[in-house]
Chain A
């Protein structure tokens, strides 16, 4: 059997299973689990409660620095949301909202600011971050208002 023969058979198997989905019983089980799960405070919130002073200070410091950077930008640095450079950066994820979508929609002067932030700051913003790596920094792009408030964040891998 040649490589191409094997490739052909593997492609046939891939095609035969391309539309395979779990049975309705699995769908119902997951739906039941969702319905049965209770809203609970996240572990991150409980951890924050234990170190209530450290996290707000870190967040406040980050926002203060960010606000200073944003206010010091020249007007031409302002880009319209639809022209944000998300499509031109490779290896990243989509922007994740930090505030309600309605607030973002009402913003007309959003900026995209690249920033390298400690993960604990992102955790403070409510993003899923591994607590074991909280001290590590990560490259991000922040969507911010002119007043320095963060609207959304995107990871740059």
Chain B
């Protein structure tokens, strides 16, 4: 048997998760090395806080250490499952019940974020990124979930739907509205007229 195949067999996510579930905590180390980046980045982009993202990353993997048996490998790969756990933890830190599914039509118009600096700074890349981060942080949580998952974490619509526990069309709708809000806020901050998808 080729050595490459042997490595793939021994390093398989589901097999490692099974070892953790069977009481072999050392199997968590390769899983942490492999997935810490995606978990941390999702939490960072969602919360806008490096400290919160670091805490959430710890929480996610400690949860995996104690609850690996909850992962059902027959239902899909490990990483989307971990991102679902991450979502629950970032919501929890924000005082949001992740299980609560808001009626999107009833979501009130959120307050626009306060941007630092004036229109003259709009071309500055760092300032642009800071404004975009602030705009994402001002989105309603369920809009923020799909924007971060689909646009920034490169998850498919189907994966985002599974992670958020909602329908595919809901993901599309939330993404549409999230993009429209951000475009409007960023346009207003630079004196433009918003025209992005809605």
Contacts and interface: CB of A to CB of B under 8 A. Distances in A.
A130 B70 contact: yes
B197 interface: yes
Contacts of B76: 157
Interface in A91-124: 93-97, 101, 104-105, 107, 119, 122
A40 B183 CA distance: 52
A122 B76 CA distance: 15
Interface string A31-47: 10110011111111100
Interface string A116-157: 000100100011111101000010000000000000100101
A105 B132 contact: no
Contacts of B62: 30, 33
Q: What's the dominant secondary structure at chain B's contact region? A: helix
Interface string B161-190: 000000000000000000100111011001
Contacts of B192: 1
Interface residues of A, number: 59
A25 interface: yes
Contacts of A42: 21-23, 69
Contact of A104 (B6, B17, B55, B73): B6
B14 A3 contact: no
Interface residues of B, number: 67
Given A10-B132, A26-B58, A42-B22, A82 B194 contact: no
A97 B9 contact: yes
A45 B75 CA distance: 21
A5 B196 contact: yes
B184 to A, nearest CB: 8
B54 A26 contact: yes
Nearest to A105: B1
